[in-house]
């Protein structure tokens, strides 16, 4: 790719929990807060549902950054989904780092349904951060063969 | 060794057990042996070259019928047995565990609780070579680490020997055989390999007992045991998991504490 970092528009996938962050992102919109448009939001019933394979899949399909966001601890709609998710993230993050996969490209956050401004801030700062880091070419190179033939069908 | 053979033969002869799982002399190194008769027991050996983790057979339906089975267990096998029992995969009454102590004495365990107190004295250690790789990796930048693992994992041709050798990989349907949706492509290619090994490690999180059977089984010598080992260390003291000691408090990823420490969630 020839794009320099200033021209580079990061592609970011956000995996969010239906009960908090999704509603929070909705509030950002209804509050008419402007924020970066680089994010594609995928809605989940709970952060506990966000399998680590989904994150890997997002990277393989061309995401430069990922946001994973849910309810604050103790606020889970299902009581403990986010606690389970947190355990998984801690473990997964350690493994990714050990394998040299860029953990700086995954932003984890707690955004409640009332935190529209925080959601805008999380997105904006993640976009800025990824813009700085540049396109995630390493992982894309690994996944290159998926583009060459229609393996994903 | 003679004592072991005698005991195994006696157990088989009087019908206490229907099968003794142990080791016999192989072409280059010892291999697993399944003794069904007292004569077979004469082939049994037990020494420091016996490194296969025999606990892998304890979850096989075709071996574990209604009869009692005896197993000659090394320390890693004892650890595996405890972890399997924590995960409700073993019937304590159907398994007779025999080991040979460092003094060369035959020891039979009355139950899993006795195994637990026995292995408490044995520390889990990394081999010199493993230690070397870990130190090398720790000195690297992230990019170099990625390059290291991509180079190592590029050799992988998905024989799944690591999975077959692991006593704790006992799912009847593995995610790599799942094809609706196909999360991990079945062929050996960079992405498919990296995804397979991440999955294997994640599924072992907090369960791996560090026997290293996966790495030993790898025909290409990829140090994959380090991935699960790393998980083990990560979950270690913070979550109350001690590497090599099966946890009674449940699986690391299916339990949680309200005060789990992290510093990366904003």
Instruction: Take residue B97 and report the two structure tokens written for it.
Output: 């565990």
CA angle A34/A39/A45 to nearest 5° reads 110
Q: Where are the domains of chain B?
A: 2-119, 128-239
Residues 152-211 of B with CB under 8 A from A: 183-185, 189-191, 194-195, 198-199, 201-202, 205-206
* pLDDT over threshold 50, residue A153: no
Angle between helices B190-203 and B225-239 (to 10 degrees): 40
Residue whose entry in the numeric block shows the structure tokens 């005698």: B6
Q: Which residues of B touch A96 (CB under 8 A)?
A: 198
pLDDT digits (tens, 9 = 90+) for B85-126: 999 999 999 999 999 988 888 999 988 999 999 988 888 888
The H or E element containing residue B20 is strand B19-24
| A40 CB neighbour count, 10 Å cutoff | 12
Strands of B62-185 (E only): list them: 69-72, 95-100, 106-108
Question: Considering only CA atoms, which of A56, A39, A48, A53 is closest in space to residue A19?
Answer: A48
Q: Which residues of B touch A97 (CB under 8 A)?
A: 142
pTM, two decimals, is: 0.91
Distance of residue B255 Cα from the nearest chain A Cα, in angstroms: 7
Contact A91 B145 (CB under 8 A): no
pLDDT digits (tens, 9 = 90+) for B125-143: 888 888 899 899 999 999 9
| A150 CB neighbour count, 10 Å cutoff | 7
Give the whole-angstrom CA distance, residue B59 versus residue B163: 13
Quick check: B263 contacting A, CB < 8 Å?
Answer: no
Quick check: A49 contacting B, CB < 8 Å?
Answer: no
Peptide bond between residue B191 and the one before it cis (omega within 30 degrees of 0): no
Where is pLDDT greater, at B1 or B73? Answer: B73
* H helices present in A31-64, as ranges: 52-60
Helix (H, G, I), strand (E, B) or coil at A61: coil
Instruction: Determine what percent of chain A is predicted with pLDDT higher than 70.
Output: 92
pLDDT bin (cut points 50, 70, 90) of residue B253 is: confident
């Amino acid at each position: 790719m020839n794009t320099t970092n200033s021209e580079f528009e990061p592609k970011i996938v956000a995996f969010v929990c239906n009960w908090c962050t999704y509603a929070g992102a909705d509030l950002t919109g209804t509050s008419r807060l402007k924020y970066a448009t680089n994010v594609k939001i995928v809605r989940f019933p709970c952060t506990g549902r966000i399998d680590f394979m989904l994150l890997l899949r997002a990277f393989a399909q061309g995401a430069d950054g990922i946001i994973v966001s849910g309810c604050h601890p103790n606020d889970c709609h299902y009581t403990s989904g986010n606690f389970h998710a947190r355990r998984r993230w801690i473990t997964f993050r350690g493994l990714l780092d050990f394998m040299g996969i860029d953990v700086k490209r995954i932003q984890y956050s707690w955004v409640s349904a009332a935190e529209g401004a925080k959601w805008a801030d999380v997105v904006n700062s993640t976009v800025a951060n990824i813009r700085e880091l540049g396109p995630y070419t390493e992982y894309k190179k690994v996944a290159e063969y998926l583009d060459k033939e229609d393996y994903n069908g | 060794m003679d004592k072991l053979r005698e005991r195994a033969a006696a157990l088989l002869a009087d019908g206490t057990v229907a099968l003794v799982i142990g080791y016999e002399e192989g072409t280059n190194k010892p291999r697993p042996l399944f003794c069904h008769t007292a004569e077979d027991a004469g082939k049994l050996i037990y020494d420091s070259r016996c490194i296969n983790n025999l606990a892998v057979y304890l979850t096989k339906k075709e071996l574990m019928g209604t009869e009692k089975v005896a197993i000659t267990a090394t320390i890693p096998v004892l650890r595996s047995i405890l972890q399997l029992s924590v995960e409700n995969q073993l019937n304590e009454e159907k398994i007779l565990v025999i080991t040979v102590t460092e003094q060369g004495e035959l020891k039979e365990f009355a139950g899993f609780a006795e195994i637990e107190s026995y292995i408490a004295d044995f520390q889990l250690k990394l081999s010199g070579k493993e230690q070397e790789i870990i130190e090398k990796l720790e000195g690297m930048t992230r990019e170099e680490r990625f390059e290291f693992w991509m180079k190592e994992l590029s050799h992988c041709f998905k024989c799944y020997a690591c999975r077959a050798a692991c006593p704790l990989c006992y799912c009847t349907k593995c995610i790599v055989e799942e094809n609706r949706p196909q999360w991990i492509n079945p062929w050996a290619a960079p992405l498919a390999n990296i995804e397979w090994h991440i999955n294997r490690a994640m599924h072992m999180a907090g369960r791996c007992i560090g026997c290293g059977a996966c790495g030993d089984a790898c025909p290409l010598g990829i140090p994959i045991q380090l991935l699960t080992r790393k998980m083990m260390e990560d979950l270690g003291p913070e979550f109350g998991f001690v590497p090599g000691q099966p946890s009674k408090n449940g699986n690391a990823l299916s339990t949680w504490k309200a005060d789990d420490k992290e510093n990366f969630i904003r």
